[in-house]
Amino acid sequence: MAVDTLSLAGKIAIITGSGRENGIGAGTAIALARNGAAVTIHYVSDSVTERAHAIAEKIRVDGGKAIVVQTSIETPEGAQHLVNETLRGFNSDRVDILDPVNNAGTAIWGDTLAVEPGQLTKVFDVNVNGPIFLAQAVVPLMKPGGRIINISSIASKLGDASIPVYGASKAALDSLTWSWAKEWGRTKGITVNSVAPGPVLTDSNPVEEFQRPAIDITRAADRAGIPEDIADAILLLVSEKARWITGQYISVSGGVNN
């Protein structure tokens, strides 16, 4: 009989964009580490270095395992470096959990007519190309039972006029989720799902009043979400309990109706 637990003991997880303590990535890394996973804290900017190392130290002080890797995931070389450092840091030949958050995601606010080519390229490099490069580096190393969680957004389905390009990039990521679930499910035993946060108070969106329009269409409570709300959903999806859930878009938004 299977153990009735969400334990991730012995699992190795890469969580991109997890270097800011008030972000979804950091919340996810902490939740997975608390339940036994060895986690790679990833960040890009030099300005986040101390914060990323502080998150890893917190995990270690609490008895968990964590390493820190700085790299861009917008190139195949950067994605491969992240994976190589994870394998070296944990003396492993596999990765069990990939959360290509695209937590390292980026958004462009404003009218489509005003979007510049460089901005368009940046959004798709981080939110679409990056996850592809990471999957190319990680999937050959995954054993049956591997988990990929793409961080989407309710903007991928809402048609939000304030962030149309960002929404389009997340819709592209959702399409990859569905395709990857089919591509690697039967052949490799890997599950792939999209988690779509709604309004969440994070390092990049710290003021609740700015998210009021999205909060007003939630159903669970009159508040924005917090990173732990998203992290706990991800924790369930990467556990053995979610073995029969794949190819799904899962809104973790307090009940926003897409």
Q: Of the listed 157, 170, 194, 253, which one is catalytic?
A: 170
Which is catalytic among the residues 43, 166, 194, 253?
166
Residues 191 and 242: their CA atoms lie apart, in Å, by 9
Catalytic residue among 152, 156, 169, 253: 152
Neighbour count for residue 21 (Cβ, 10 Å): 17
Query: CA 214 → CA 59, 162, 181, 184, distances in Å?
Result: 32, 12, 29, 34
Q: Which amino acid is at 33?
A: A
Annotated catalytic, 166? yes
- SS3 state of residue 251: strand
43 catalytically annotated: no
DSSP output for 55-107: HHHHHHHTT-EEEEEE--SSSHHHHHHHHHHHHHHTT-S---EEE--TTT---
**Residue 200, C-beta contacts closer than 8 angstroms, at least 6 positions apart:** 24, 224, 225, 226, 227, 229, 230
Known catalytic residue at 152: yes
Which of 153, 169, 194, 239 is labelled catalytic? 153
Cβ neighbors of 84 (< 8 A, separation 6 or more) are: none
Catalytic residues: 152-153, 166, 170
